[in-house]
A and B are shown apart, each in its own frame.
Chain A
Amino acid sequence: MLLELHNIFKWVTQGGKRIFLLSDINLQVEEGEFISIMGPSGSGKSTLLNVIGMLDGFQEGEYNFLGESVHAMKEKNRSKLYKEYIGFVFQAYHLIDELTVYENIETPLLYKNIKSSERKALVADMLDRFNIVGKKDLFPSQLSGGQQQLVGVARALIAKPKLILADEPTGNLNSKQSEEIMQLFKELNQEGVTIIQATHSETNAAYGSRVLHLLDGRRDHK
């Protein structure tokens, strides 16, 4: 078991009233799964991914990651856990504009205090794998959307995470680029990486082994 959510509630208080962003979410994810989260806009897909990714908190419920209870953890330990096991891919890529392709991919390794020689080898591997060796000295603004997302995925993968969270990774891409990214995810999944993606597209969702439907912050079991 990779992770487990039990009766998760998340809300914000507005004008004295609670607005539930997530209610009573239960979810179990095994290692090696490829899950797609679907639901209409505003249904809470991003919110759920952020909770799973420990980028955001929740008010009620239990969250266990590799047998450790995340909700009871100190920020520091949570951050360590996160750094060790999770990689994130965003719809808006979120590359650092001031860094080159090479440096963007390298940065997570810096935060893990990996030696320079080892870093070089790992980044070179990654560039090679994604066929972007020729672009390594370019800045994000000099790349197409699809290329930027490739860099985003490469960056998420470089630290060898067990779990990749992708929030509409192809939302800004055309269908051919989408297909490439999805193909890549499929390969990664076959190599043993667990993937959870939020998506609007049935085609993309089909790459997954299981689909989870959300509606107004609840699981929709229809």
Chain B
Amino acid sequence: MIRNYFKIALRNLWKNKGFTAINLLGLVIGMTAVILIGTWIQNELSFERFHTNEKSLYKVYNRSTGPGEISTWDITSGPLGKALENDFPEVENSARIYWSAERLFGVGDKSIKTKGNEVDGSFLRMFSFPLLQGNSDDALEGVNNIVITKTLAIKLFGDTDPINKEIKIDNETNYKVTGILKDLPSNTAFDFEYLISLKGNETKYSGSDAWGINTFYTYIQLKPNTLIVHFNEKIKNLVERKSDKYKWEIFLYPVSQSHLYSRFENGKVAGGHIETVRLMAIIGGLILLIACINFMNLSTAQSQKRAKEVGVRKVIGAGKSSLISQFLCESILLAAIGGILALVIAAVYLPYFNQLIEKSLMINFLNPLLWLGLGGFVLFTGLLAGSYPAFYLSSFTPVKVLKGAFKGVKSSFNPRKTLVVLQFSVGIALVIATIVIYQQINFTQNRATGYNVNNLVQVRIEGDIKKNYDLIKTELLSARAVTAMSKTGWGVTVDGSNGSGFKWDGMEQENLNFSLYRTGGNFAKTMDLKLVDGRDIDFSLFPGDSSSVMINETAVKKMGLKDPIGKLIRKDDSALTIVGVFNDFIIGSPYDDVRPMLVFGSVDGVYNIVMRLNGLNDTAKNLKIAADVFSKYNPAYPFTYHFVDQEYAEKFKDEKQIASLSSLFAGLTIFISCLGLFGLAAYMAQNRSKEIGIRKVLGASVGGIVKMLSKEFIMLVVIAIVIAVPISWYFMSEWLQDFTYRIDLEWISFVYAGVGTLLIALLTVSFQAIKAAIVNPVESLKTE
């Protein structure tokens, strides 16, 4: 019996090839999108879940209560981990990890820059980053031991066995390879290609006041069955007890949560990646719904044509239940074909999707969840789509069906129309969202940066650059490759440091928070900042500039200074003299207001060079000269540089990603919805071909008929616009609230979205309508 059903199903699908193609296409696109989104979500949810000790691993956080705000950070002092381990029996193990650094690796005459961390030996025992060669228990217990990933090992050593071989790091120290790490999976936030034993280096990072300098991430493994709430209460004041000086509290936070819930506001978890996951889940759900609706609408439209078959089958003895199973079999078969096609297409398109979301996801075809999900979806869509013809058609008495009683059924509430409205509402809302997101990005990109981002290049200070900086500078300037250069603390697009507690005469607002920045001089000149008042920091003219500071215009305003030059800014025991005021420029988020900023003159703590290339020369020529000069004075390192304009553009990465995703999904939604409309219009035209023929014989014009056929569908899209506009207005104004610097919602963008969609829908429907209208009436009348 089932075989018979499938045979007929296949014949039916084949007979209506066009319809089958349209229906499958919509379903496959929808399912492909959902498989891709699902893979991504699955990856996000699985972050750090693969560690064997997943449930007992924690990261140590600090919490400090300031005026009006509780700040939370995860960088801790050096002795903290061991102290926890020694003082509390609940602690099984602790490991510190120093933040990630790019280092130069040399093997023979090969040298590669690669990034990784310094860690305590216990790290490999706590976390599940298995060694392919070597022993996790002691691989990193010795001084100058290193473990590297398989990929890096191949890059450095090729086919030869790397164990016990030496790597020269930063052209200084030799490290011995004691283990080969399996390459890291895609669902971890750790990002290293090597791990170096911290032993022997740690004093470098802590100095005398070990409890006060926060330089390490500390991880703790608790014994099973430790109640974390109680334990956190016990350790809360450990830093104060140990240091007698520092008052911030500490607490443990589960590693398994640290990816999805990573943002703390006011001492409490406020979100993190989970927000993107939720957004994607909603979008995935909507696309699923739309694909489902499409499938249902087209299948049911099709099934009306099968009314006669239902009637005949009843007359020759089919019971209700056998008809129901026949129709369900058919729709499930089609959904299953769609599911398999979608899986294949998803696998093919995964690399492009990976590019878009900047991940390296893989579809795990052995994952039972995938098959369960896909099977569930196929069954669900199939059942839903098949249930209408199955239950509705088979409930009629055969006489009615044979007489074609359904064609006459015309109720004002037609579920199919409602579904079309729903589809287009979602589509239009997504289109509006896309438009608003792009407008916001454009608006912010066009915001004045306050400095000239072009022709600006940054180089990290490494190797011998520090020693030879003055020579490099002189040579570059005299070669006219650069017109100005400056050493700074961070890159000029990084708002890396902020602080409060500064005091000045006439201070009204306590605890004003400043962006803090350091320069070795010539900062305003290099950046092309306008000096509103005073001068640039310049150690060659003013050797005492390490007690000088420049401030931006916002600082002048917020500090309430009348005549800032010469005024003192104090903190603790030191005092800084304001020597210059420069115009506001964007260093942090371009979506936020510019904050008050202090730029200190400093010869230490500068790790970055920013250079203004000579605009009169070719950029390539300038860079060639720079490369020669840097290689001459820092021969061990390859010359690496970054363009500031590119780094500035990075600030829009997240929003651009959201924009391209939302435009992709908006496009898909509209496309699927139009496929549905196309199919429905085709059916309508077919069903009414006799009517159209008669009308034409009676004298109706082609235009009149096209209008008659299109009107009904276009009304549906208009209703969808009416529904979508207020909803998306609400959500997009919520979204914009997150940005200080933002656009106002404009009704014109809503008009664009509405009219655009309407045009596309019109095109879709009128294609069918015109096709139906120009048929010679003799043809359509003959067939009945």
Give chain A's interface residues, CB within 8 Å of chain B. 50, 53, 55-57, 76, 79, 82-83, 88, 90, 94-99, 103, 107-108, 110-113, 155-156, 159
Contacts and interface: CB of A to CB of B under 8 A. Distances in A.
Nearest to B316: A108
B236 interface: no
Given A76-B319, A94-B311, A111-B317, 20 more contacts: A50-B399, A55-B397, A56-B397, A56-B399, A83-B319, A88-B316, A94-B312, A94-B315, A94-B402, A95-B312, A96-B309, A98-B8, A98-B12, A103-B4, A107-B4, A107-B313, A111-B316, A111-B319, A156-B316, A159-B317
Contact of B316 (A97, A107, A113): A107
A156 B397 CA distance: 19
A83 B309 contact: no
A98 to B, nearest CB: 5
B322 interface: yes
Contacts of A55: 314-315, 397-399
Contact of A108 (B4, B12, B317, B399): B317
Interface in B1-46: 1, 4, 8, 11-12, 15
B1 A110 contact: yes
Contacts of B317: 79, 82-83, 108, 111-112, 159
Nearest to B12: A98
B189 interface: no
Contacts of A111: 313, 316-319, 322
Nearest to B321: A76
Contacts, number: 54
A103 B4 CA distance: 9
A45 to B, nearest CB: 13
Q: At the interface, is chain B mostly helix, strand, loop or mixed?
A: helix
A159 B316 CA distance: 9
A79 B315 contact: no
Interface residues of B, number: 22
A98 B313 contact: no
B308 interface: yes
A98 B315 CA distance: 17
Interface string B377-412: 000000000000000000001110010000000000
Given A94-B308, A98-B15, A107-B313, A57 B397 contact: yes
A95 B311 CA distance: 10
Which one of B8, B317, B319, B399 has the greatest number of beta carbons of chain A within 10 Å?
B317
B311 A79 contact: no
A98 B11 contact: yes
A69 B494 CA distance: 90
Contacts of B309: 96-98
Interface string B279-312: 0000000000000000000000000000011011
Given A55-B397, A56-B399, A96 B313 contact: yes
Contacts of B315: 53, 55, 88, 94
A169 to B, nearest CB: 14
Contacts of B11: 98
A207 to B, nearest CB: 23
Contacts of B399: 50, 55-56
Contact of B319 (A79, A94, A96, A99): A79
Contacts of B312: 94-96
Contacts of B397: 55-57
3 closest cross-chain pairs (CB), A and B: A111-B317, A83-B317, A108-B316
A37 to B, nearest CB: 16
Interface string B319-334: 1001000000000000
Contacts of B314: 55
A79 B319 CA distance: 7
A88 B12 CA distance: 25
Contacts of A108: 316-317
A57 B402 CA distance: 15
B627 to A, nearest CB: 74
B319 A155 contact: no
A19 to B, nearest CB: 16
Contacts of A56: 397, 399
Contacts of A97: 309
